Amino acid sequence: MNIVRNYQKELDKIIEQITKDDSKKGQRLLLHSCCAPCSSYVLEYLRQYFRITVFYYNPNISMEPEYRKRVEEQKRLIAAYNTQEQKGYPIEIIEGDYEPAAFYEITKGLEQCPEGGERCFACYELRLHKTALLAKEGAYDYFSTTLTISPLKNAQKLNEIGERLSKEYGIPWLVSDFKKKNGYKRSIELSAEYDLYRQDYCGCIYSKQERERIKQEKSQNENP
């Protein structure tokens, strides 16, 4: 029988241990971020317990102007959060290389996969592998990702990949399902509060094409 894990409860237990042990407060977390809106709640939540370095590495974003716009929004949000010293530890950021060729290489043969399937899993792997490697090099206490906040992302698969890479690199993986406890709802509120740039697709060309197709079908159904 497959046991469905509650990753949010597992994270709650880790945070409870941190709050009870002063030696664990302010441990260093390398947090992969897909975009400012998704990171908004995660940073607000975790900066109370961890010294976070955001790792912005997203080679899946197909067009460079889109990539640049998203990374600048990430930096703007972090700068705003860092003015609120009373709300948690200061946040740092590392901008990874923009290398869309790496994304196209690992998704060869998966171009026609539906969104949320094997192509997305390969993309998770690419981004988390780079995060784990950097966490190892930087001797971080944990690594994790903001991706689990999205209702469109597979939290179970993300945690499976993270835990496997944790064993490979010897860096603890911080389990998560950030959409829980109204996390996704809070990210929408924070996005409005900080006037963050949002898009309705993950960033890759395949996701963009899927969204455009859905919009076109919806328009045709509404205006037959």
Query: What is the mean pLDDT, run by run of 10 residues, along the chain of 224 residues?
Result: 87 96 94 97 98 97 93 98 95 97 94 88 97 98 97 95 98 98 97 92 82 70 66
* CA separation for the pair 144, 54 (Å, rounded): 10
Q: What pLDDT, on the 0 to 100 scale, is given for residue 5? A: 94
Angle at the Cα of 33 from the Cα atoms of 193 and 133, rounded to 5 degrees? 160
Dihedral Cα 179, 185, 187, 190, nearest 10 deg? -160
Q: What pLDDT, on the 0 to 100 scale, is given for residue 206? A: 86
Q: What pLDDT, on the 0 to 100 scale, is given for residue 223? A: 67
Task: Please give the model's pTM, rounded to 2 decimal places.
Answer: 0.93
